[in-house]
C-alpha cells in the first residue's frame, strides 16, 4: 500500500488535542505552502487564510463554534475565508502576477482576461461566493492531506457560526466570508475516536468506471 494511502488512513477528524504538544512553525509553513500550491479555477485563488494563535481571540470564537474544544486546544486555528466579491481589479492583479512571474507581456493575456471577465463578472454576488467557496475547499483538502503526511492532526470544521466569525474577525469589510475552519495540532492519547474504524462507502457504490 502506498505511503500516501497509509497516511490518509492514519488521519481522522481529531476531537481532542494534546495541549502540551505544539506543531512547529516550520511544519506550519509546509502546510501553508500546500495551501498556496492548491489548484483553483483559472488560478485565481479567491480566498484568504488566517492563522489564529491569539488565546483571547480563540476563546471568543469557541462559543460560536458549537463550543468545540479543538478551537482553543489546537496549536493553530486556521480560518479559510472565501472572497465574496470577485471583480475586475482582482482579475487584473492576477494577470499582472502571471505577466511578471513568467516575463510575458500583459497584452498576451487579453483573451484570458476576456474569458475570466465573461465567466465570472456577470455572476450574482451569491454565485460568486459559492464559486469561491468551492475553491477554498480544495485548499482545505490539500492542507488536511499534507498534514497527514507529516503525521500532524487536524479537524476540519463547518460547525461554527459564519456570521459571528465574520463579525469577530472583521471579514465582511474585507470582502471575505468565513468558509471553513481547521484546527491543527497533535491528538490527545485520550481521544477515543482515533481508534474508530474508518467508515466509507464501499468502492462499488462510490465509484463507477465506464
Ligand X SMILES: Cc1cc2nc3c(=O)[nH]c(=O)nc-3n(C[C@H](O)[C@H](O)[C@H](O)COP(=O)(O)O)c2cc1C
Task: Give the CB-side neighbour count of residue 27, counting CA atoms within 13 A.
Answer: 18
Binding-site string for ligand X from residue 103 to residue 142, where x marks contact by CB under 6 A and - marks none? ----------------------------------------
Alpha helices in the chain (DSSP H): 3-10, 25-36, 55-61, 70-73, 88-101, 110-116, 125-149, 162-168, 203-206
From residue 30, alpha-carbon distances to 89, 101, 150 in Å are 30, 22, 9
Asked if 155 interacts with ligand X (CB under 6 A), we say yes
- Chain Cα centroid distance, residue 137: 6
Taking the complex as a whole, the smallest distance from the CB of residue 41 to ligand X amounts, in Å, to 19
Three-state DSSP state, 173: helix
Residue from 23, 116, 180, 184 in contact with ligand X (CB under 6 A): 180
Binding-site string for ligand X from residue 61 to residue 100, where x marks contact by CB under 6 A and - marks none? -------x--------------------------------
Nearer to ligand X, 147 or 157 (CB): 157
Nearer to ligand X, 1 or 210 (CB): 1
Q: In this structure, are residues 194 and 150 in contact, taking their beta carbons and an 8 Å threshold?
A: no
Q: Contact residues for ligand X (CB under 6 A)?
A: 12-13, 15, 68, 155-159, 180, 198
Amino acid at each position: 500500500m502506498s505511503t500516501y494511502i497509509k497516511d490518509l488512513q492514519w488521519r481522522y477528524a481529531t476531537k481532542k488535542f494534546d495541549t502540551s504538544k505544539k506543531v512547529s512553525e516550520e511544519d506550519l509553513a509546509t502546510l501553508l505552502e500546500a495551501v498556496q500550491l492548491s489548484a483553483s479555477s483559472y488560478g485565481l485563488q479567491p480566498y484568504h487564510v488566517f492563522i489564529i494563535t491569539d488565546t483571547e481571540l480563540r476563546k471568543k470564537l469557541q462559543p460560536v463554534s458549537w463550543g468545540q474544544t479543538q478551537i482553543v486546544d489546537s496549536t493553530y486555528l486556521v480560518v479559510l475565508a472565501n472572497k465574496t466579491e470577485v471583480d475586475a481589479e482582482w482579475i487584473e492583479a492576477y494577470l499582472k502576477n502571471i505577466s511578471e512571474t513568467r516575463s510575458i507581456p500583459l497584452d498576451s493575456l487579453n483573451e484570458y482576461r476576456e474569458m475570466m471577465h465573461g465567466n465570472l463578472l456577470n455572476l450574482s454576488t451569491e454565485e460568486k461566493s459559492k464559486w469561491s467557496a468551492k475553491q477554498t475547499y480544495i485548499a482545505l483538502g490539500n492542507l488536511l492531506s499534507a498534514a497527514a503526511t507529516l503525521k500532524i492532526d487536524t479537524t476540519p470544521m463547518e460547525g461554527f457560526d459564519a456570521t459571528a466569525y465574520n463579525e469577530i474577525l472583521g471579514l465582511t469589510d474585507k470582502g471575505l466570508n468565513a468558509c471553513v475552519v481547521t484546527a491543527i495540532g497533535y491528538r490527545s492519547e485520550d481521544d477515543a475516536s482515533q481508534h474508530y474504524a474508518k467508515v466509507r462507502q464501499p468502492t462499488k457504490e462510490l465509484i463507477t468506471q465506464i
